[in-house]
């Protein structure tokens, strides 16, 4: 399997519901380093996994919708704990929608998976991988 990873970051504010979250139940900020990995079994006609420029641009656009936002105020996330794991899935799903829409080029239609990792720090991160 071939893969290509691009990186960006996003800053959000949010709070959690549930004793398991301890002090994170209060409103707090988080800065995530975000890696998006695109994978396929065989390279496309241009011998690439996906256009790196398009992948970088699309990841940036997906994150721009979340950046500098209080996720507690986003209607689509109402009543949801926007955990790192949950946000990794949101980003992966939004990138998948863009692949299907052709925003990453026709060659990207041959992608097998997209994986997204959100790094909270140098010692903690969460990932989500989905099939296309």
DSSP annotation string for 12-23: EEE---SGGGGG
- Residue 64 and residue 117: Cα distance in Å, rounded? 17
pLDDT of residue 63: 98
Report residue 5 as tokens. 């990873």
Measured CA to CA, the distance from residue 43 to residue 50 in angstroms comes to 9
Helices (H), the chain: 52-64, 84-101
Q: Which domain holds residue 113?
A: 2-131
- The CATH number of the domain holding residue 115 is 3.30.479.10
- Which residues in the chain land under pLDDT 70? none
The count of structural domains within the chain is 1
What was the pLDDT predicted at 73? 97
Q: What is the pLDDT of residue 130?
A: 98
Q: Model's pTM, two decimal places?
A: 0.96
For position 47, what pLDDT does the model report? Answer: 97
Number of residues in the chain: 132
């Amino acid at each position: 399997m071939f893969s290509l990873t691009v990186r960006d970051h996003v800053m959000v504010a949010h709070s959690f519901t549930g004793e398991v979250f301890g002090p994170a139940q209060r409103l707090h900020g988080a800065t995530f380093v975000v890696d998006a990995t695109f994978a396929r079994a065989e390279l496309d006609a241009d011998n690439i996994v996906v256009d790196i420029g398009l992948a970088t641009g699309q990841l940036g656009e997906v994150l721009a919708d979340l950046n500098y936002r209080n996720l507690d105020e986003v209607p689509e996330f109402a009543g949801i704990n926007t955990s790192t794991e949950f946000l990794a899935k949101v980003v992966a799903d939004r990138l998948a929608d863009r692949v299907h829409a052709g925003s990453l080029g026709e060659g990207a239609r041959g992608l097998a998976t997209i994986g997204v990792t959100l790094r909270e720090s140098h010692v903690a991160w969460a990932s989500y991988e989905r099939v296309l």
